[in-house]
Amino acid sequence: MNADWLDQLRWADDGLLPAIAQDADDGRVLMVAWMNREALAATAAGGEAVYWSRSRGRLWHKGESSGHTQAVTEIRTDCDSDVILLIVRQHGDIACHTGRRSCFFRRLDENDGWITVDPVSKDPDEIYG
């Protein structure tokens, strides 16, 4: 694949773009992470999501420690070319390090603030040891 497509994106000054992972079957947003050029190129070439971990300062193949990889079925960008959307099939049905299907498991309640609305699918200690 010609790398010119990477040049057509509007990378932030730090060389990153936000990347949204969306479930291919039901459209649910599973998570948001960051990608640099190398992560996006690796994702396109390998067919599995690879992100840039800001906390680790390195590439992060989603599921490298949990086994919950993301098979990428489609890669899109928005109208401004500064956000990546990955349409994925989430292996193990857990995308969040908290053991939930989605990282978006809290909802704002006008009386109680942020409340947890999605259950833990698997205890993170069982996933990560």
In percent, the amount of the chain with pLDDT more than 70 equals: 98
- End-to-end Cα, the chain, rounded Å: 38
pTM value is 0.93
- Rounded Cα distance between 89 and 26, Å, is 10
**Mean pLDDT estimate for the chain:** 96
4-94 to CATH, choices 3.30.930.10, 3.30.70.20, 1.10.8.80, 3.10.20.810: 3.10.20.810
Residues 71-124: tens digit of each pLDDT: 999 999 999 999 999 999 999 999 999 999 999 999 999 999 999 999 999 999
User: Residue 129: what pLDDT?
Assistant: 83
The two structure tokens encoding residue 74: 């489609």
Spatial distance between the Cα atoms of 3 and 123, rounded to a whole number of angstroms? 40
